[in-house]
Amino acid sequence: MLYTYKSNNRSRRRHYHHHHHHHHHRGTPLYSNITNKHLNKFPLRTHPNNQMALVKEIMGCSMMEKSLFPLSNIRKSINRTHNQPCVNIRTRIPAVKAAISEDLAKLVKADKAVTFKVRAVLTVRNKYQEDFKETLVKKIDAFADQIGRNVVLELYSIDIDPRTRAPKKSKEAVLKDWSQKSNLKSEKVNYTSDILVDSDFGIPGAITITNKHQKEFYLESITIEGFACGPVYFPCNSWVQSTNDHPHPRILFSNQPYLPDQTPAGLKLLREKELKDLRGDGKGVRKLSDRIYDYDVYNDLGNPDRGNDFIRPLLGGQKIPYPRRCRTGRLPSDTDISAESRVEKPFPLYVPRDEQFDESKQNTFSTSRLKAVLHNLLPSMVANISKKHDFKGFSQIESLYSEGVHLKLGLQDDIIKKLRLPNLVTRLHESSQGGGLLKYDIPKILSKDRFSWLRDDEFARQALAGINPVNIEKLKVFPPVSQLDPEIYGLQESALKEEHILRYLNGLTVQQAIEEHMLFITDYHDIYLPFLDRINALDGRKAYATRTIFYLNPSGTLKPIAIELSLPRALPGSQSKRVVNPPVDATSNWTWQLAKAHVCSNDAGVHQLANHWLRTHATMEPFILSAHRQLSAMHPIYKLLEPHMRYTLEINAIARQNLINADGVIEQCFTPGRYAMEISAAAYKNWRFDLEGLPADLIRRGMAIPDPSQKHGLKLLIDDYPYASDGLLIWEAIQKWVQTYVTRYYPDASHVCNDRELQAWYTESINVGHEDIRQETWWPKLADADDLTGILTTVIWLASAQHAALNFGQYPYGGYIPNRPPLMRRMIPDENDPEYTSFLEDPQNYFLSALPSMLQSTKYMAVVDTLSTHSPDEEYIGERQQTDTWTGDAEMVEAFYAFSTEIQRIEKEIERRNRDTGLKNRCGAGVLPYELLAPSSQPGVTCRGVPNSVSI
């Protein structure tokens, strides 16, 4: 398939565009005298002395292969790759033409195979900040390179050499200009290499790199130019280790996707070898330069060597089922053979080398910010803020934003000053006492209405449009029923009775209100009750298991009408369950505020431990580990998933080290304390992958009913449910994109069933990654393209939109502690309690002393602020690194642009909804707009933006 430009056509495209499909031959005048008719006379590679066949061989492309797509499909603007300016076709041709005619002239003279030169350009990304040792090693490497310790490349054809039955290879080639460019300070450096290949080489499909320097380098991409099929792209985005650490050459594949049984003969062995390397052998301690993906249980959260207080149960296994995490292979602790020894901050935990956050200046931002907060800021807070100190008034909480807290900074806190912590430490300047001022940005919840958090309508609105909009359910039976085992927990009858709610139902009976979809509930009874005795025995922790009933107003907003507070068993003289209703006088007003605060702290724990950590971080890890182990980089499904797996293993490792570990931030700041991860594991018992997609989840919670006549195939019971209505737009866009992609490679069910790598990915994700629940019958089957579309849509939804909706509002909503206290320290007093008098005397003081202390609050604020921050290098949904060259399939690049356009349309629709005064849950006096699912964002804490992956 040769496309020719007519030279007299004024309107021809001027730009030689950098598109990237190996079977697509760019039209250039140079081939215009050779027609398809001529070429097709000669079967390829039959008569070695046939000049025409040799011309075809020089061109390096199998002309016979039908081009996979028409020229018209190719995007007109695809020249953004590597930010290169478009090259005018006239300036490009003569050089190539000259080279080819010289080669033709040589061919005419000689019948034997000739070699010709192609050029490889490697784009290497420099480190932003090098320490002295690294600079020294770099200099030694530059010198060593001059005397032959080079970076060596070999190019592999997609064809087998008929004589040797091995893949066709080029001659070894070295990077020519390493030592000259070793001092370049730019972020990216392009190195070149000339590679000699035989004229019958065919199309390049893989390249191996041997790094004989001492230091690893980050290879972004390779472009090979000089083959007649046009430039060949190798998207790498990988660290290439020194042969000192990893003696075998690195294998990298071009961007041409192949299903396993369509792998060209020349690449089969390389494809298998690369996957075998990534799996490792399951033995030994992993070193930081490894890139081995393997599984383990969560046996490293505790630190038994530090004493009994730091022992935590092992998560994963039949005793406490849990998803698997990435194996590090560290030795066991001294005191407990089944617990892995800890690596404490600031030493890093192993994740495969390519999973570590990039060190380029953009990318250090969110992770080093997180590390600075955890390692430097929190310890100096502990040293400076008294543990006993409670807030003296609401104005004191608000002064954290206006006046800040004085911290005496030690030397180690220089790092905090260096790191731009824009909204966390806006003024850590030196003051005369040698301290600094820690100032917080005003959380969004206070920005429009300082008192909104006190109101019932805002409390209810946040169940639909806050940071945890995934727990509210339609009330199906009244009174609500517990699913806990009565053998263990006794009969758990609800204290809610009809008389508690009848007066709020505008004349309906309770049954009528249920049938007309007017009653809703957030039910935290079963997840907390089994743990309450242990939680309430902790110092400074007090909790109930709560249920909240909401009534749907005719205007589409919710009104909380009853809160049930449960304790496991009645202590003598006190009731174990009580119901609190909206207030009628001063005393009941404060009781009601305390009850809502307890509901919020229940909600904060479930949000963080079940919905955020478990359902988007922990359950995704097995799918990611398995994808790297079982799907080749050239597998089309790997290419689809790649942006949605970025950085997740690293952020989960940081969490195991600092956040969810024994005495980590989550235990210190949330109600369940040391039982936090056991609550997370209890939630895993009810986790079902088949119900994690948005439509299935809405139907499971009764927030929607199936309705084929409606868009998305369901009808929301609360029309103005911002999380659900925005989420369905994104869900549908992801589903449509995935479906287009899947049907491109899997025209029928047999292709899905026979794809060894794909089936291995899915079965391993379940059987090894989720081993403890592998027997469950609800796992979706993977037998046809629809099954695959459903599974992939769910995975991408969880990694992108679901995580974003649960994560990036944490500081905007939770940064003002009274709005969502993460823990409570006092019960709600009743007449028989000794503290009832002090509650009546000074209810505001009692309320504040029930909230977290100043130290707990400021620590919690510092961490959720960081977790809510977008880093400057964030990739949002609808964006991709190397937009035009991530795949060699132009049709899919085109489809991806359509997906991007749809995401931009959704963003405009969300903006329109936030201006619609009819939608009272997102628009109104002092009401926050719902932007958590608005796809794009600036860096920083913005309360919006949907990144591709779970990366913070």
3-state secondary structure of 273: helix
Conformation bin of residue 128: beta by default, left when phi > 0, alpha when psi is -120 to 50: alpha
Which is nearest to 638 in space by CA: 274, 362, 899, 918?
Answer: 274
Are 942 and 791 in contact by the 8 Å Cβ rule? The answer is no
Report the DSSP beta bridge partners of residue 184: none
Whats the size of the chain, residue-wise? Answer: 952
Residue-wise burial string across 431-442, b where 16 or more C-beta atoms lie within 10 A, e elsewhere: eeeebbbbbbbb
Q: What are the C-alpha distances in Å from 632 to residues 204, 274, 556? A: 17, 8, 50
Q: What one-character DSSP code corresponds to residue 876?
A: B
What torsion do the CA atoms of 868, 900, 884, 23 make, to the nearest 10 degrees?
Answer: 140
Report the DSSP beta bridge partners of residue 431: none
The span from the CA of 669 to the CA of 665, in Å, is 6
Residue with token string 């090979």: 224
- What is the Cα Rg of the chain in Å? 31
3-state secondary structure of 204: strand
Backbone angles phi, psi at 504, to 5 degrees: -100, 0
β-bridge pairing 188-198 and 167-169: unpaired
Instruction: Give me 902's structure tokens.
Output: 């749809």
Please give the positions annotated as active site: 612, 617, 803, 807, 952
Q: Is the dihedral of CA 335, 339, 343, 345 positive or negative?
A: negative
The span from the CA of 363 to the CA of 872, in Å, is 7
The span from the CA of 421 to the CA of 367, in Å, is 12
Q: Which residues contact 166 (CB under 8 A, 6 or more apart)?
A: 160
Q: What one-character DSSP code corresponds to residue 765?
A: I
Amino acid of residue 936 = S
3-state secondary structure of 689: helix
Name the H helices within 772-889.
785-797, 803-807, 810-814, 836-841, 843-850, 854-867
Are 328 and 286 in contact by the 8 Å Cβ rule? The answer is yes
The span from the CA of 819 to the CA of 799, in Å, is 27
Neighbours of 719 (CB within 10 A): 12
Task: Please give the full DSSP string across 94-113, using - where no structure is assigned.
Answer: HHHHHHHHHHHHHHHH--S-
SS3 for 573-611, per residue?
A: CCCCEEEECCCCCHHHHHHHHHHHHHHHHHHHHHHHHHH
3-state secondary structure of 728: helix
Q: What one-character DSSP code corresponds to residue 617?
A: I
The span from the CA of 428 to the CA of 421, in Å, is 9
Q: CA 716, 720, 723: angle at the middle one, nearest 5?
A: 80
Q: Is the dihedral of CA 781, 786, 792, 795 positive or negative?
A: negative
Task: Please give the full DSSP string across 441-476, using - where no structure is assigned.
Answer: PPPHHHHS-TTGGGSHHHHHHHHHHSS-TTS-EE--
3-state secondary structure of 237: strand
Q: What one-character DSSP code corresponds to residue 658?
A: I
